[in-house]
């Protein structure tokens, strides 16, 4: 359970202030503060949804942003760290669910699609890195930024597809590509650590290489084990309300073990979901967010993503931010559009898919971390590059759901009007 | 609009149309991906045709004009293989079956197109409920008079085709108890059922004129009869079959019809009469409800027979015609299916083994696509 630290960090003078004042809220019990934030988030999301048909998660993130140091300073970013296990659980549940939606056989049946997936990721990373380097970023920092930027946010994409109830070719490809580029980002960051370690003495390079292989193989095996475990345990609770409980319990365990053994929870949970689907087929019923408990955590997750948003230094680094955002869009457009016809996609759908992939993700960096801070996860990375990456992520996290919804509704026309 | 002349076509030639389900490989519910599949199949090889149907989760395929079983089944296998390849490219499944076991009609989307939108406007929710899947078989006739004679002579055999092809026991997730629940959806349409008893093309033209003058119909397409004349093709079209779970069964049903038509035309075992229709809806109901175990009443002798026995007797009667038409493989497949049971029983088998309906849909898709 998270340790309440919000109150401890609040100024003593504010402790006696009434709850309805800003100072009072800042000094409030952390559980109460988060509960109030959730209440506000639900109302704001609903108002925005009814007024402008904005995805509800925009309202959740916006509420988080309002409470963040960016605006009202109700909650400090560091105060969130104790909540991280719960947030990780929400992300884990969605990654597991995403894994159950993936059918790897599709990549064999449609090799042009497989090529398109890999090309989209690599081209995104490459173009972002090249143009950041052209703007003056050190090569190593540009490479790290490119690797982080190549992934799309799985949680945003999944949340939008759930809410829009979209079904169709673009939706299926979107989910597949999101899973693949998330894995490529995780693997890419591990590989980069090796490459960056080549300046170090030989022993450290070997250690880094072994460590990367251990992470990949270990995460895969862990996911495989939990997929098998779910298959074995499910018959005991099939048809009872305990099924989502079992799934959540296994997701927590897998996620915690992955973190404890310094593996990749992202990879482990995706593999667990895919294994469970392959093993159990029709016996596996996965509710969106793994049920109502997962839905609550989801709101919390998007509030926290909102709290982490930052626009610090935007006016000095905006060209860098623009390069990241534009290059991601261009690279997606080239990779998907170039192979659209060969892989069986229409031009309009290709445009829709490229746009739907724009929400950015911080998961590749943060999911394996102990805290919400980026800097400790990317040591030695050039400051302005890191900040540009953070600001680009902020913009494409906050507006990402709108692009994805717009694409699925108007370009792909895969949302159900009923 | 006057009824068009009946185009002459070579007697007993065949054309088969199959309405097919597109299903997601994730949850095996219907997938609205007809446009995607049509795009992928745009450059298909072969003389067959593939086109959209009323909702976005359906497609319809049509063979070229065929004369005998071997070439018909070869063409159906070729189109099945090409369709299956296209479907795998898109990560969807294609399945036979008269209904999807658990799709929800309100979630279906009308395929963009002028006629589909006209039907949707006219029939409202019935149009979406019409997400059912049938096999239509065209049989060539030399003129309108002969076509109408054959149409009414065939009415006695309509229950055979319903029972043999029945593959729609489930609707909206529930076992309806019917072997072919699909035809209940068709019955909801005001111009469904049987064609009026007219044996001359001119007389039929007068009926058509009266109907168009009421404004109720605009073309022959507005009639949803079990068997209807198709003057532009020079055929009669049998429309009562559920789409079978395999193309081999579809070909066998078409050739069984071809054999009966030849037998009727050459031996004229009876003259069709209006009174044949006294038992028509009863027999039709029995076939839909109980499949091959249903009991039908012979409109001439008034005797009751179990459908399975009646089909066996008919197969014996048409055997020499099957030989002449090189359709013995087809009649053998029909004979075997009488003992193995129809596709409705096959689908129920999955559920009876405790498997969810999605497992039955997946198995049906794998069977249609010949993946097993």
Instruction: Give pLDDT, residue B108.
Output: 77
**What's residue B351's pLDDT?**
85
CB within 8 Å: B36 and A101 = no
- Indicate the pLDDT class of residue A202, thresholds 50, 70 and 90: low
* Pairwise CA distance, residues A281 & B25, whole Å: 10
Coil vs helix vs strand at B252: helix
Residue A212 near residue A264, CB atoms below 8 Å? no
Mean pLDDT for A86-94 is: 84
Residues of chain B with C-beta less than 8 angstroms from the C-beta of A416: 107, 109
Residue count (chain B) = 372
Q: Interior CA angle at A411 toward B85 and A130, to 5°?
A: 90
Least reliable range by pLDDT among A177-181, A263-267, B41-45: A263-267
- Among A106, A166, A167, the residue to mutate for chain B (most B Cβ within 10 A): A167
What is the CB neighbour count within 10 angstroms for residue A236?
10
Say what percent of chain B tops pLDDT 90: 80
Rounded-to-integer distance, Cα A104 and Cα B227, Å = 45
With the CA atoms of A85, A88, A90 and A92 taken in that order, what torsion angle do they form, in degrees rounded to the nearest 10?
A: -130
Mean pLDDT, residues B312-334 taken together:
96
CA A125 to chain centre: 17
In sequence order, the β-bridge partners of residue B52 are B59
Which among B88, B91, B107 has CB closest to A172? B91
Pairing outcome for strands B192-193 and B224-225: parallel
Q: Which helix (H) or strand (E) holds B24?
A: strand B14-24
Tens-place pLDDT, residues B201-211:
999 999 999 99
Count of C-beta atoms within a 10 Å radius of residue A235: 10
- CA distances, B254 to each of B158, B287, B339 (Å): 13, 18, 19
* pLDDT of residue A374 exceeding 60: no
**Structure confidence by residue, pLDDT tens digits, A166-178:** 999 999 999 999 9
Q: Do B25 and A281 touch (CB under 8 A)?
A: no
Q: Which of residues 337-376 of A touch B (CB under 8 A)?
A: 343-346, 349
Residue B295, classed as helix, strand or coil, is strand
pLDDT for the residue A157: 95
**Per-residue confidence (pLDDT) for residue A15, from 0 to 100:** 52
Q: pTM of the full predicted structure?
A: 0.89
List the one residue out of A101, A125, A271, A281 whose CA is nearest residue A175: A101
pLDDT at residue A212 tops 50: yes
H helices present in A135-168, as ranges = 139-149, 154-164
Give the integer Cα–Cα distance in Å for A254 and A354.
32
When mean pLDDT is compared across A220-224, B129-133, B177-181, the lowest value belongs to: B129-133
**Which residue bears the tokens 């030399």?**
B142
Cα B307 to Cα B36, B281, B295, B297, distances in angstroms: 41, 15, 6, 9
A239 touches chain B (CB under 8 A): no
- Asked if B35 reaches chain A (Cβ–Cβ under 8 Å), the answer is yes
Residue B321 has pLDDT above 60, yes or no: yes
Q: Which pLDDT does position A378 carry in this prediction? A: 63
In tens, the pLDDT along B63-80 reads 999 999 999 999 999 999
Q: Does B104 touch chain A (CB under 8 A)?
A: no
- A349, closest residue in chain B (CA to CA): B36
Of B33, B88, B359, the CB nearest to A169: B33
pLDDT given at position A19: 64
pLDDT class for A370, splitting at 50, 70, 90?
low
A168: nearest CB among B28, B32, B362: B32
Q: Is residue A311 pLDDT above 90, yes or no?
A: no
The reply to whether residue A109 touches residue B106, judged by beta carbons under 8 angstroms, is no
CB B93 within 8 A of CB B22: yes
pLDDT number for residue A9:
44
Q: Does A287 touch chain B (CB under 8 A)?
A: no
* Residue pLDDT, tens place only, A67-82: 877 677 676 655 667 7
For residue range A30-72, list pLDDT tens digits in order: 777 778 888 999 999 999 999 999 999 999 999 988 887 767 7
Our CA angle for B4, B7, B13, nearest 5°, is 140
Angstrom CA distances, B282 to A106, B158, B175, B345, stand at 48, 12, 22, 22
Overall average pLDDT of the A278-303 stretch: 82
- Alpha carbons within 13 angstroms on the beta-carbon side of residue A140 total 15
Give me the phi and psi of A70, to 5 degrees please: -60, -35
Question: What is the arithmetic mean of pLDDT over A258-266?
Answer: 86
> Residue B254: is its pLDDT beyond 60?
yes
Tokens of B48: 């067959």
For residue A393, is pLDDT > 70?
yes
Q: What digits encode the pLDDT tens for the residues A217-261?
A: 999 999 999 999 999 998 888 777 788 889 889 998 998 898 888
Is B106 in the A-facing interface, judged by CB distances under 8 Å?
A: yes
Assess whether pLDDT exceeds 60 at residue A371.
no
Is the per-residue pLDDT at B255 higher than 60? yes
- Tell whether the model's pLDDT for residue A386 goes beyond 90: no
Compute CA distances B164 → B168, B287, B288, B306, B344, whole Å.
12, 9, 10, 13, 9
Residue A68 CA, distance from chain mean position: 19
- Looking at residue B17, its pLDDT comes to 97
Q: What angle do CA B114, B115, B118 make, to 5 degrees?
A: 90
- Rounded-to-integer distance, Cα A220 and Cα A224, Å: 6
B352 touches chain A (CB under 8 A): no
For residues A325 and A124, give the distance between their C-alpha atoms in angstroms, rounded to a whole number: 10
Q: Find all residues with CB under 8 Å of A225, minimum gap 6, and list them.
A: none
Is the confidence at residue A24, as pLDDT, over 80?
no
Sign of CA dihedral A291, A372, A81, A41: negative
Decide: B180 and B287 in contact? Cβ < 8 Å: yes
Residues B234/B65, Cβ–Cβ less than 8 Å: no
- Does A199 contact chain B (CB < 8 Å)? no
Choose from A8-12, A91-95, B246-250 the range with maximum mean pLDDT.
Answer: B246-250
Flag if B36 and A168 touch (Cβ within 8 Å): yes
pLDDT at B51: 94
Q: Quick one: which H or E segment has residue B16? A: strand B14-24
Confidence of residue A8 (pLDDT cuts 50, 70, 90): very low
Whether A344 sits inside 8 A of B91 (CB atoms) is: no
Stretch among A133-147, A158-172, A188-202 having the lowest mean pLDDT = A188-202
Strand partners of residue B62: B17, B49
**pLDDT tier for residue A363 given thresholds of 50, 70 and 90:** low
Rounded mean pLDDT, B353-366: 93
pLDDT band at B335 (very low <50, low <70, confident <90, very high): very high
Least confident of A89-98, A361-370, B133-142: A361-370
Q: What's the pLDDT at A198?
A: 65
Q: Answer whether A254's CB lies under 8 Å from A246's CB.
A: no
- Predicted-complex ipTM score: 0.87
* Best CA proximity match to A377, nearest among A388, A387, A368, A389: A368
pLDDT digits (tens, 9 = 90+) for B54-66: 889 999 999 999 9
Q: Which two tokens stand for residue B318?
A: 């048409």
Q: What is the pLDDT of residue A10?
A: 44
Using the Cβ of B129 and the Cβ atoms of chain A, whether some distance falls under 8 Å is answered with: no
By CA distance, what is B33's nearest residue in A?
A: A168
Q: Report chain A's mean pLDDT, rounded to a whole number.
A: 84
Q: Across the interface, do B362 and A282 touch by the CB < 8 Å criterion?
A: yes
């Amino acid at each position: 359970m998270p340790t309440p630290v919000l109150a401890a960090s609040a100024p003593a003078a504010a402790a006696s202030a009434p709850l309805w004042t800003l100072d009072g809220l800042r000094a409030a019990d952390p559980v109460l503060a988060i509960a109030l934030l959730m209440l506000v988030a639900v109302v704001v999301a609903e108002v925005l949804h009814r007024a402008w048909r904005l995805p509800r998660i925009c309202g959740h993130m916006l509420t988080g942003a309002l409470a963040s140091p960016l605006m009202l300073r109700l909650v400090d970013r560091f105060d969130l760290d104790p909540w991280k296990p719960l947030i990780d659980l929400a992300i884990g549940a969605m990654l597991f669910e995403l894994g159950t939606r993936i059918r790897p056989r599709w990549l064999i049946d449609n090799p042009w699609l497989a090529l398109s997936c890999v090309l989209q990721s690599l081209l995104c990373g490459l173009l972002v890195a090249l143009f950041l380097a052209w703007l003056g970023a050190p090569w190593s920092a540009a490479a790290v930024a490119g690797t982080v930027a190549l992934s799309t946010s799985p949680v945003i994409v999944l949340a939008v597809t759930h809410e829009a109830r979209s079904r169709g070719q673009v939706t299926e490809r979107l989910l597949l590509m999101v899973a693949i580029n998330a894995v490529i980002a995780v693997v890419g960051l591990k590989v980069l650590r090796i490459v960056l370690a080549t300046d170090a003495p030989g022993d450290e390079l070997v250690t880094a290489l072994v460590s990367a292989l251990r992470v990949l193989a270990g995460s895969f095996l862990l996911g495989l084990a939990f997929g098998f475990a779910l298959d074995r345990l499910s018959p005991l609770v099939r048809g009872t309300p305990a099924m989502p409980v079992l799934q959540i319990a296994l997701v927590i365990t897998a996620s915690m073990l992955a973190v404890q053994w310094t593996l990749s929870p992202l990879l482990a949970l995706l593999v667990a979901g895919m294994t469970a689907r392959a093993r159990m087929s029709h016996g596996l019923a996965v509710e969106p967010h793994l049920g109502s408990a997962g839905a609550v955590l989801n709101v919390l997750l998007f509030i926290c993503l909102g709290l982490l948003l930052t626009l610090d230094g935007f006016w000095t680094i905006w060209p860098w931010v623009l390069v990241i955002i534009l290059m991601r869009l261009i690279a997606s457009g080239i990779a998907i559009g170039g192979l659209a016809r060969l892989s069986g996609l229409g031009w309009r759908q290709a445009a829709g898919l490229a746009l739907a992939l724009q929400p950015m993700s911080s998961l590749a960096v943060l999911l394996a971390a102990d805290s919400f801070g980026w800097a400790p996860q990317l040591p030695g990375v050039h400051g302005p590059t890191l900040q540009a990456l953070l600001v680009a992520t902020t913009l494409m996290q906050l507006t990402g759901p709108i692009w994805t919804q717009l694409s699925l509704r108007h370009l792909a026309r895969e949302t159900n009007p009923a | 609009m006057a009824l068009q002349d009946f185009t002459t076509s070579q007697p007993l030639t065949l054309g088969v149309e199959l309405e097919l389900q597109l299903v997601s490989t994730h949850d095996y519910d219907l997938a609205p991906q007809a446009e995607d599949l049509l795009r992928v199949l745009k450059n298909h090889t072969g003389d067959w045709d593939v086109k959209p149907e009323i909702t976005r989760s359906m497609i319809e395929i049509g063979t070229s004009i065929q004369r005998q079983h071997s070439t018909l089944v070869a063409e159906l296998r070729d189109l099945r293989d090409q369709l299956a390849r296209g479907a795998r490219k898109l990560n969807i499944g294609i399945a036979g079956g008269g209904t999807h076991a658990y799709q929800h009609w309100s979630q279906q989307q009308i395929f963009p197109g002028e006629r589909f939108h006209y039907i949707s406007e006219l029939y409202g929710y019935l149009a979406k409920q019409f997400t059912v899947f049938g096999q239509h078989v065209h049989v060539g006739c030399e003129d309108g008079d002969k076509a109408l004679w054959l149409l009414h002579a065939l009415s006695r055999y309509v229950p055979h085709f319903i029972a043999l092809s029945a593959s729609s026991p489930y609707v909206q997730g529930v076992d309806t108890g019917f072997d072919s629940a699909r035809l209940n959806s068709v019955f909801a349409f005001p111009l469904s059922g049987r064609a009026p008893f007219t044996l001359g093309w001119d007389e039929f033209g007068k009926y058509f004129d009266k109907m168009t003058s009421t404004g109720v119909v605009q073309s022959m397409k507005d009639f949803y009869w079990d068997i209807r004349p198709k003057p532009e093709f020079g055929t009669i079209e049998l429309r009562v079959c559920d789409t079978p779970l395999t193309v081999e069964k579809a070909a066998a049903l078409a050739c069984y019809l071809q054999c009966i038509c030849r037998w009727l035309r050459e031996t004229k075992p009876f003259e069709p009469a209006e009174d044949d229709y006294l038992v028509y809806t009863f027999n039709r109901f029995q076939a839909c409800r109980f499949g091959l175990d249903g009991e039908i009443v012979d409109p001439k002798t008034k005797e009751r027979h179990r459908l399975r026995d009646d089909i066996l007797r008919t197969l014996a009667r048409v055997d020499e015609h099957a030989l002449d038409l090189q359709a013995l493989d087809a009649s053998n497949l029909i004979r075997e299916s009488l003992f193995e049971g129809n596709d409705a029983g096959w689908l129920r088998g999955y559920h009876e083994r405790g498997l969810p309906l999605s497992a039955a849909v997946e198995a049906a898709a794998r069977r249609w696509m010949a993946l097993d």
